[in-house]
Amino acid sequence: MFWFVGVHGPSIVEPAIAAIIYANVETNFELFKNGEQTSKVLTVGLGNFVGTMGGTGATLVVPFLFMLFAKSKQLKAVGKASFIPVSFAVNEPLLFATPIILNPYFLIPFLLTPIANVWVFKFFVDILKMNSFISVLSWATPAPIGLIMGTGFSLLAIVLMLVLIFVDAVIYLPFIKAYDAVLLEEEAVNSGIAEVEEEIAEEQKQVGDIITAVTEAEKEKIRDGKKVLVLCAGAGTSTMLAKALEEGAKETGIAISAQAGAYGSHYDIMKNFDLIVLAPQINSYLEDIKKDADKLGVKVIATKGVEYINLTRDPKGAVDFVLRVI
């Protein structure tokens, strides 16, 4: 339950029972040496190889179920990426990539599967008289190997492992399918959006080609030159675009001249220009400037941040921008 909300549960819970689960292993080992059944169920092996086989939540089977039964790209990818670490009880990639953590679809199997595994193990020990764990193995030992080795290599241990894998798969599979259906629907929607975006991009390219063709035609009409005034708050930012326009004019041979200015200094000179371009920081003054500019037959356009920066870095693009507006 701690793990489901993103807190490392074993680090919180295990210290309270550590003395018991290790002492019981020692007791079981003494029983085993004396030829008696090792009946102490609550051991460190029970946690590592039964209750949390494949990591907290008993997730050993989950990556394989993803690869075998999931249809969504996300779950198949998670299965392929996580089945090796999960086999060695490192299931954080699975918990956070699926995600299982905080995912309501997995709350029930995440809590129920470890409990069911312990019940099954206790049945094998108490009723079928299988040996419990008699040794302590590394927690990273793959669960099937850890269970069989830790209980003394008995035939019942092999049967138990097969039963646990079957039980865990039966518990997890319905919830995996339910979540997979949701992901499939989301992927279908995203795929449709991607197709629409591709169509829009293609249409924009076609429009861009038309605009380019029109611009080329308009260039031929410009004989007497066009003057552009770029305004910003203090004539610093505006100078960047003005210089770009001058460079673009030289490169393209288009008769365009540009001048930078600060807002407030334009009232007496705006009548001398064909276009006024506003830098992003004075966009709020657009309507005020347009009132005076309309009386003089001067066009005014405001630019946005990214757009403005791109224009200052692309002289030819800046010239095309001005031509389109004019």
State the catalytic residues: 232
Q: Beta strands 299-302 and 226-232: pairing type?
A: unpaired
HSE-up of residue 96 (Cα within 13 Å, Cβ side): 7
Distance CA(110)–CA(103), nearest Å, equals: 10
Give the sign of the dihedral formed by CA 21, CA 27, CA 28, CA 33.
positive
Please give the C-alpha separations between residue 7 and each of 47, 102, 113, 205, in angstroms, as whole numbers: 17, 11, 19, 50
Residue type, 303: T
Distance CA(128)–CA(130), nearest Å, equals: 6
Q: Phi-psi bin for 56: left (phi > 0), alpha (psi -120 to 50), beta?
A: beta
Q: Where does residue 242 rank: exposed (0-12), middle (13-18), buried (19+ CB within 10 A)? A: buried
Contact 48, 146 (CB under 8 A): yes
